[in-house]
Each structure stands twice: as C-alpha cells, then as structure tokens.
Amino acid sequence: MKSPRIMLAAPASGSGKTLITCGILQALVNRGLQVASFKCGPDYIDPMFHQRVIGAKSGNLDTFFTDPATTRYLFGRAAADQNISVVEGVMGYYDGLGGVCLEGSSYDVARTLDIPVVLLVNCAGQSLSVLSVMKGFLEYQSPSMIQGVIFNRMSPMIYERLREIAEHQFSVRVLGYVPPIKDLDLKSRHLGLVLPHEVEELKENLQRLAEILEETLDLDGLIALSQEAPSLSYHPPEFFQRAERKPVSIALAKDEAFCFTYRDNLELLEQLGARLVPFSPLEDKEIPRECRGMILSGGYPELHARRLSENVSLRQSIREAIARGMPCIAECGGFLYLHEELEGPEGICYPMVGSIPGRAYGTERLGRFGYITLTARQDQLLLAQGEQVRGHEFHYWESENCGESLEAQKPVGKRSWSCGHGTKTLYAGFPHLFYYSNPQVALNFLKKCEESPCLS
C-alpha cells in the first residue's frame, strides 16, 4: 500500500509536540485532505482530542503492545484511503521502556513503519546551540529516520540564517519555524476533559494556530516528504480467518464519565462479531435489554460521582446483571464505578454500583503508572491460568480492594504486584488492556457473551 505518512517527534516532553501536531492536523484538514492521525504510546487523550475537536481519524501505535506485523496492520488498516497520516511521537524520540531502551519508543515505531521523521526542536533560550541537538539525534542511531526539522519557539529574525547553516551541515530539510505564540496552549485538562462548551473555543484557537503555521511552515514540503515514504505491506492477523462468530450485542458505557476505550479494541470486537450498543450511565435508566455483555470503559467517573450515584435505577440494573452472570469488562474508571462507594474530588463519598466491596478514593499522586504485563493466576473471563495480556495503568484514584486475580509485572526491572478481580464472568481492575497483545482476550469475552442470556 502506498501510504503517505510523517512522524512529528521531539528531543523531550514539553517541546511543543502536541500543540504543533494539532495545528498541522488542522491546517491539513482545512486544505480538504483526508487525514489520519496516530499517537505513539498508550495515551487515550490525544487521539480522542484529534478526533473530537479537529475531526481527524485517530488511533494509537505502540510497539510494547503489539509485534511489528500487528503494528503495521493496525496502521495500514487505519491509514488506507487517507491522503496523509500524521504520527505524533511520545516523550523524547529515543525514550523507550523504563527510559533505558529503544523498545516502545517513537523511534521504534518509526523504524517499524518506515516513517520519515520531522524533529521538532525547542529553540527557546538558544540559537546556534540547537544544531548540536540536531547532530546528536541524527547520529545516535543509524538510520535515525529523521529527514526534516521544525524550529519551535524561534524568532523570525534568526530563522533564515539558521536554516541556511542547518541545511548546509546536515542532510535534512528545514521545514519552517513556529514563532513564540502567546495565549495559545493546550492544557492537559483540555486534552482530557473537553467539555461541550469548550469545543468551539478550542476549535477557534486551533484555527488561529493553523493560519500561523500556513505562513511559517513549509506544509507543501511536509506533504511531499510524507509522499516519499516507501510502500507498506501488511496482512490481517491469522485469527480473523478462524474466528467467525454470530453477532452478539454488547452494552458499551459511553458518555462524559466513560470515554477512554482504545479504538482498536472496539474495532477488534466488531470484526469478531460484536454489535456494540452505547449507553450512558449518567443518563440511561437501564442497560440496553438486548445485550448479553457489558463494557464499562475508563474515564472520569470520580468527576461525575454525584450524578452517577443519583441514577439509582441504572446502578441497580448493572449490579443485578453482574450478579446474574452477565460478562463484564470494567477498566479503571469502570472499575471505580463498580465499588460500593466512590469519593468525588470534593471529598464526599457517593454510593455506586456495589459489585466490588469497598471504597475508591482520591490520592495526591499518580498510582502504578506505566506499562505492565498481566498474568492470570487462575482461569477467568479473559484469560486461562498462566496466560498473559499487556496493558497500562494511569490513575490518581485508588481502591481499598484492588483484587488479586492477576499478577502485574513491569517490563523493565523486578517490580510486580497483585491486581484485578477475575471470575468466570468478570474482569474488573485498574489496568487498561490492549486486546491485540493477546487477541484471545477478545475471543474469550465474546464466547462467554454468546453463552449469556440477554436481559429482555
């Protein structure tokens, strides 16, 4: 497949990757191009933002979660029929697992997918010194995959002269600069909590940024570089060919409180025969009655704890369905929702579903952050004893009852811990699972759903 593609990477976090990526995506959409966007790593937030605010089809690319062939498949399937694909890097370009290896880094994704990379160099407080940064990144690995550079936070007074020096010394294309821009920033809350009344303001800001980038970047050169990417071959995984199943309806929690679900997980379930039926724990009075299974997505239930608690009939509907044996996956936010009580940000505890004994409460720090491999300690809904799936944890809330059905192991080092509630019909825990790391997870869930009676 001929797939024009580009990666925007940076020497470090805080270099302006997300802001510039969003501005470039908006500019490309404004030009009428069909654009796919991707985020390296496990982050839900940027892809959700790209899709909701900018309107670009978006997903994740993660070489810890998936082997090279699967990574190419997930990219190729999503990029098909698009005019250009833009991949946003994660952290520093070479920063991988545990901060000490290349696996899982933006560079690892770039070489897996043969993507031309444009390095975004933060020039605040320096001028000629940025060339030493470029030199280090170009020479650290061979090939570095870096074929272009954009100077961020650079004065137009110095840009032309520095561009000439850079292009003379290095075999890379200088694709423009981004001047210092006041009053335009994308705070983490905006990226993760885009409220309905904020969307228009964000769109206006990104339109303003896109107009600036049309003037200061060589967007035609960026598009031309993307078109030089070599053809990409990929194939559907073999299990698709042996896993034809009858359609089965699965209730999917989807609203402001429950919005974190990997797109690839949902599309995998659909390809295997699931019919996903969205419902809102904030608004609906009961689970869709035609459903035989349920997914309680991650999200922000703690910020909506009062409204979730006041929806008594829906809480009761979920509690009764789980007690009757409806297969249920509850990740992170969904796991919090299943507790007897959930503390809101103001410190008040509210009654929740009650399927998990105990209380979930806020903390002052990020808990057990990062990649993990999960091993089942006994046969359960998603895994047989000893089987594994890969995932990620990111939460500021904690539980009095995290569970002990799985063992979580960090990919670098010896740290491990018990987590998760796993029964024949339930997975509930903080880890977000990526199904393509072990597709048997999706197959096991659907098989159990097929055996379950619907509510109606």
Q: What is the pLDDT of residues 276-328, one digit of tens each?
A: 999 999 999 999 999 999 999 999 899 999 999 999 999 999 999 999 999 99
What residues are labeled active site? 332
| Residues of the chain under the 50 pLDDT cut | 189-191, 193, 196
Residue 189: per-residue pLDDT:
47
pLDDT of residue 422: 97
Do 338 and 428 contact (CB within 8 A), yes or no? yes
pTM (2 decimals)? Answer: 0.93
The per-residue pLDDT for 201 is 77
Bridge partners (DSSP) listed for residue 121: 151
pLDDT at 55: 82
The per-residue pLDDT of the chain, averaged, comes to: 92
What is the CB-side half-sphere exposure of residue 282 using CA atoms within 13 A?
A: 15
425 and 328 in contact (C-beta within 8 Å)? Answer: yes
Output the six-digit token pair for 253: 């929690």
Picking from 365, 362, 368, 358, the residue whose alpha carbon sits closest to that of residue 301 is: 362
Q: Which residues, 6 or more positions from 117, have their beta carbon under 8 angstroms from its beta carbon?
A: 6, 7, 8, 9, 89, 93, 106, 107, 110, 144, 145, 146, 147, 148
- Quote the longest CA-to-CA distance of the chain: 72
pLDDT of residue 183: 73
